Amino acid sequence: MTAHTDTPDTSGSVTTVYRVSGMSCGHCEGAVSGEISAIAGVSSVKAVASTGEVTVVSAAPLDTEAVRAAVDEAGFELAGQA
C-alpha cells in the first residue's frame, strides 16, 4: 500500500514517512539512515526496523527515485510511502 504523507511543518520543513522492506536490526536502520541522509535537503532521518518505517525531514519534498536509489544502495527495498 502506498500513500503520500508529505507534511509541511511551521518551519517550512517537510516530513515524509517511507516504508522500507528488509530492515531487521539497528545496523539496517543505520545503513538506510546514512544513505538517505546524503540526499541534498535532508535534515533528519529516523529508521525503525520493527515497523519498516523511515521518517525523513527535508527542506522540500524529495524525489522518490532519489530515495529509492539511496535505499537500494543500503541494500534494501523502498516499498512506498506510509
CATH number, domain of 38, equals 3.30.70.100
In a domain? residue 1:
no
Rg over alpha carbons for the chain, rounded to the nearest Å, is 11
Residue 41 belongs to domain spanning: 7-81
**pTM for the model:** 0.86
Report the distance separating Cα 4 and Cα 2, nearest Å: 7
Total domains, the chain: 1
Per-residue confidence band for 4, with pLDDT thresholds at 50, 70 and 90 = very low
Closest CA to 43 of 72, 14, 81, 8: 14
- Sequence-distant (6+) residues with CB within 8 A of 27 are none
The string of pLDDT tens digits covering residues 14-67 is 999 999 999 999 999 999 999 999 999 999 999 999 999 999 999 999 999 999
DSSP E strands in the chain: the ranges are 7-8, 14-21, 42-48, 53-58, 77-81
